[in-house]
Structure 1
Amino acid sequence: MELLVLSEQHARTLLIHYRWDVERIFELLEEKGKDRLFSEAGLTMSDNKVIVLSSYSDPFTCSICFEDVS
């Protein structure tokens, strides 16, 4: 997601959280702003770097893309 200047991993986190609805992500970006969009997905910005805030420690398999994610 070049518009948000994200790594592939963080873009994937956003997509999974918002159920792969890219249009909805852009709507929420406009409505809520970048910080709130990220925080609702378990990400936060710190010095223009995204940090994962997830409290889950065990990886699981995504039921949409079937990749193992933490």
Structure 2
Amino acid sequence: MDLINRALEFEQQKRKSLSTSDRVKMSREAKSLILGLNEIYKQNKDQSIMEIMKRLTVIKQKIEKRLKGRPLTAL
């Protein structure tokens, strides 16, 4: 249950005006939380855990999109 509380706290963190290293740390933390929750979900099959994992995945994707930057346009 500590992992679920950490995941809920992670969701509440601010994600504005972060440095690149902060984004990398947050992305890695999100990944570890998702994988940990997945192990719990495999045992319990609790839908609330699945919903938390989905929300964390969306956050992680947004962070990674920002890390990769915009693609260059062909001229």
Asked if TM exceeds 0.5, the reply is no
More helix by share: 2
More strand by share: 1
Give the TM-score, by structure 1 length: 0.26
Of structures 1 and 2, the larger Rg is shown by: 2
Give the TM-score, by structure 2 length: 0.25
Higher RCO (C-alpha under 8 Å, 6+ residues apart): 2
